[in-house]
Amino acid sequence: MTSKGPEDEHPSVTLFRQYLRIRTVQPKPDYGTNPALSSILLNSHTDVVPVFKEHWSHDPFEAFKDSEGYIYGRGTQDMKCVSIQYLEAVRRLKVEGHSFPRTIHMTFVPDEEIGGHHGMELFVQRPEFRALRAGFALDEGLANPTDAYTVFYSERSVWWVRVTSTGRPGHGSRFIEDTAAEKLHKVVSSILAFREKERQRLQSNPHLKEGDVTSVNLTKLEGGVAYNVVPASMSAGFDFRVAPDVDLKAFEKQLHAWCQTAGEGVTLEFVQKWMKPQVTSIDDSDPWWSAFSRVFKDMNLTLEAEIFPATTDSRYLRAVGVPALGFSPMNHTPVLLHDHDERLHEAVFLRGIDIYTQLLSALASVPALPSDS
């Protein structure tokens, strides 16, 4: 009997035959790894953000592909593409019979979109995570509309702040003194003036990217019971993204000072407060960065290193000492994560698998480091 081609072979048989090709012969079985070395962790989150279906050209959960090759769907960019690209790159390396000194682990985690508090934040504290002995991690990045790819080596700290202002209530027809609204207005003005300063700083310096400055948006306003009742309390919610070079203690003092200046009875509370920003080295002397960036040079691809403007699970990895780079291989692609009509061209997706194949080979072959012992 001749062996059948892969196209009409049962996939379980194909997998079995791939396994047979790995030379696990005693007394020197090729298990394909050197367990003494730290591993490479490929992380992706499985959750996606909600959709406003009426604004989509196609059903966001149908994975519609148009005649040009654009695949529409929630998660095409953020980040179901990456999960499958990891799997396909690993599959390709296995089929080709490669093995590397370092083990490659993949994690598929929940709840990133709501902060990872029941996902990666807990996982990094577990013995199961420590058992992976991760020495370096890859996680999500962002699309780049140009020919270049972007890699993220740090991220801004997320601070969600609720400012509550209390004051004298009364009839809506009167000039009441010391109202909650007047004081809240002062805080909002101070914060929005700061926002404008940072916006100008970014706009006026072509060397700065979004992740280099601190952003803030007023995202919530709460309070009031009736049009003719001056409320005793009102609150405003802000989404701050604090640049990694900011002195967080001093910045927190500044927030309190803005509240104090606004008057008596103005307080703030944190709904999210990340205090451990870390930067992964992108110095040429760093062996992980050197292996990562070399792949782009060898493939003749342009790579731009930036600070991630929002938040990912990478922060939990970096905070426990695992260097992490955020990378989603999407060039020539508009940034559409969390947006209507999130989509990815199939050619960009497939090219991403080629890139990961090279990246994984390079990273899993990084020789023993002092940190491995």
Catalytic residues, by residue number, are 47, 112
Q: Which does 286 bind (CB under 5 to 8 A by kind): ligand FME, Zn ion, none?
A: none
Ligand-binding site membership of 30 (annotated): no
Q: Verify binding: residue 46, ligand FME, rule CB under 6 A.
A: no
Count of residues interacting with ligand FME (CB under 6 A): 6
| Minimum distance from residue 312 beta carbon to ligand FME (Å) | 6
Q: Verify binding: residue 202, ligand FME, rule CB under 6 A.
A: no
Q: Verify binding: residue 115, ligand FME, rule CB under 6 A.
A: yes
The region of 138-146, 160-168, 200-208, 356-364 touching Zn ion under the rule CB under 5 A is: 138-146
Q: Verify binding: residue 311, ligand FME, rule CB under 6 A.
A: yes
Q: Which does 233 bind (CB under 5 to 8 A by kind): ligand FME, Zn ion, none?
A: none
Q: Verify binding: residue 79, Zn ion, rule CB under 5 A.
A: yes
Ligand-binding site membership of 342 (annotated): no
Among positions 75, 104, 140, 344, the unique one binding Zn ion when judged by CB under 5 A: 140
Closer to Zn ion at the Cβ: 78 or 155? Answer: 78
Closer to ligand FME at the Cβ: 14 or 125? Answer: 125
| Minimum distance from residue 171 beta carbon to Zn ion (Å) | 46
Binding mask 37-76 for Zn ion (x = CB under 5 A): ----------------------------------------
Q: Verify binding: residue 335, ligand FME, rule CB under 6 A.
A: no
Q: Is the dihedral of CA 365, 370, 372, 373 positive or negative?
A: positive
| Minimum distance from residue 318 beta carbon to ligand FME (Å) | 15
Closer to ligand FME at the Cβ: 272 or 361? Answer: 272
Contact positions toward ligand FME, by CB under 6 A? 113, 115, 158, 272, 310-311
Contact positions toward Zn ion, by CB under 5 A? 78-79, 140
